[in-house]
Structure 1
Amino acid sequence: MIIGIPKEIKTLENRVAMTPGAVESLVRQGNEVLVEAGAGLGSGLADAEYIASGAKMVSAAEAWGAEMVIKVKEPLASEFQYLRKGLLLFTYLHLAAAPELTKALLDSGTTGVAYETVKSADGTLPLLTPMSEVAGRMATQVGAHYLEKTQGGRGILLGGVPGVYPAEVLVLGGGVVGTNAARIAMGMGARVTILDLSHQRLQYLDEVFQGRITTMMSTEPNIRQMVQRADLVIGAVLLPGAKTPNLITRDMLPLMKEGSVIVDVAVDQGGCIETTKATTHDNPTYVIDGVVHYGVANMPGAVPRTSTFALVNQTAPYALRLAAKGTDALKDDAGLALGLNTWDGKLTCPAVGAALNIDSMTPEEALAQM
């Protein structure tokens, strides 16, 4: 198969979809790999390393002309021209919050396999997890930074100092993002509360953290109570493939402290705070009702060396299977099949269909027609 690795063009997105090591594995399998010149530079990976691994360095158009294109982030409007029937696109898509991209994929007939909806046998999300780990840990670091007075925050040191009360951190969601955010916040000395809908998950978190964080059920009264106390709120809610519900509504914002900070990691899927909007690394924050909002939709792109290797560790085995068998690989793996979001002009992710009010079919129904 001919495989293309374009350079990411999202603002200050420095990750790359495949490392030279992964490229070498693809080439050894008999594939031709076309890497856009400079694609790996942001992650400290030189063109010479890709050439040594067997890749051919090409233009963006040539990389996009491949049979399968592997990316990190979703195609932007300027890349819609490359979408076409017969193209297998393997990347993060987050379609529930992207109606224009969804339309472009459907109109073009592109087969879109989304990292974020692939599941493993145990029901976890193996291609989302590594970036969730990065984003969760970054969320606390970012929040601590924007709590500084010079950044518009309350002027609070997250962990306090002896004799001075530390910051209160509220984490909405006890999944991978929330757990990693809580771990870093606790390690920095903050007082941490995690809210989640699952009592079983809260039991697990209480055991893992040995009672050093507070766990609460995620109910509206509890959220309303806790936002009044919080200095930093981290949005860590995930419904795979679906639009994220707004847990903090517009009317709750005036209850929050002046200079408190919201970091909404769920922004890729629409955000779990009603006032969240996507921002970029070069203009990351805005203020509403005195509350600093951080909504960068590609947080791990700020630490690309770590993020690229963490992501490719997980995506490369799937890429090898798709390269070997094309869409037939989906028929061999029910978890990988769940990554199928678009095919032949049809939406194949019901959660996205519900979010965007578009007719859809299941991946299984689509595979039966292939």
Structure 2
Amino acid sequence: MNTRPRSKRSGALDQLAAEGVGLWLDDYHRGRLTDGSLERLVADGLVGGVVSRPAAVARAVADTTAYRDQLNRLSNAVASAEERVYALIAEDARAACIALEPVFRATKGMHGWVSLGIAPRLTADAEAMVDHSKQLAEMVDRPNVMIRIPVADRGLAAAGDLLAHRVSVHVTSVFSVQRYAQAVDTYFRGLERATAGGHAASAVTSLVSLDVGHLNARVDALLDGSADPCATALREQAGVATARLVYHCYEESLGCPRWRSLVAGGARPQRLLWTSENAPESPRAALDRVERLIAWMTLHALPQAAFEAPDRREEFHGDTLSGEHGSARRVMDALGRAGIAVDSLARDLEVAAVERERAAWDKLLAGVQAG
């Protein structure tokens, strides 16, 4: 066990906690276990969840010895490269679930989750996604594991089936209010199917990720080519505006009769996780994102460096999302006048997200084969 003294929480992080904001570690890999950093972040009350991404694991496989012993064992087991990858990330997830179990128990399942993904080659096949997800969840065999499913292609169909089978789901790569509303409906239908099958609504939960970084980058690139005189002022506005509209949709969903029926049976809210998927962020960029997206019951996924940055924020300025849907709609209207419809970009962004995940997965497969 690591014996380094616990660091003190900053006033800024206490402010986030007071606003109901949770922080997750976004670049988790086995090195975070062996060096004790995950344990410290959990003990300090900084991290309440973990995202395991193939890009982070691939870097650790290539640059460290953290996976060497397991890879040596697996090389004698006549397993495919993909089976080896699943074995690596399942062991990582199991250890992280154990580290976060006190948080999971203390918060009655609101926090303390670990998210990991399946092979992105499966996105067009809902049945295959369900099968691989169930097998991976069984390999981890912990109550606080959830499987990451991209919204693209057949992702929502798979997510609904998994929830009905009591597998918690992290829906990723959402870029529009329309897609978010579909993810909410998928969660409700999944819970309704689970309860109709005799399972408790509290048996599963779900997250939805909004990828603010890539949304801003795509829209800003289009604004750079716009002749609209207001285009410059709209830069870096699309992500926040979409987040504000999504959060308004989230609040409305928690007031509808379907949700009231589900929550009476013990259902947990489908949490919103703000992130920048598969794009390493600097600590400053990650903390800037946090400052722009603060609201009750939301989550932020941050790289480890953001928790350790010497220039970590001394102060955040309270809720930046609630009640801002009117201003967000005005931003969307202005973007429309500049020739940019964010909802129509969503599908292209979803496909690009899957391709980034596929490239990271392929790099991990190659590293496992070489190891």
Normalising by the smaller structure, the TM-score range is 0.3 to 0.5
Q: Which has the larger radius of gyration?
A: 1
Greater strand content: 1
Higher relative contact order (CA closer than 8 Å, sequence separation 6+): 2
Greater helix content: 2
TM-score by length of 2: 0.33
TM-score by length of 1: 0.33
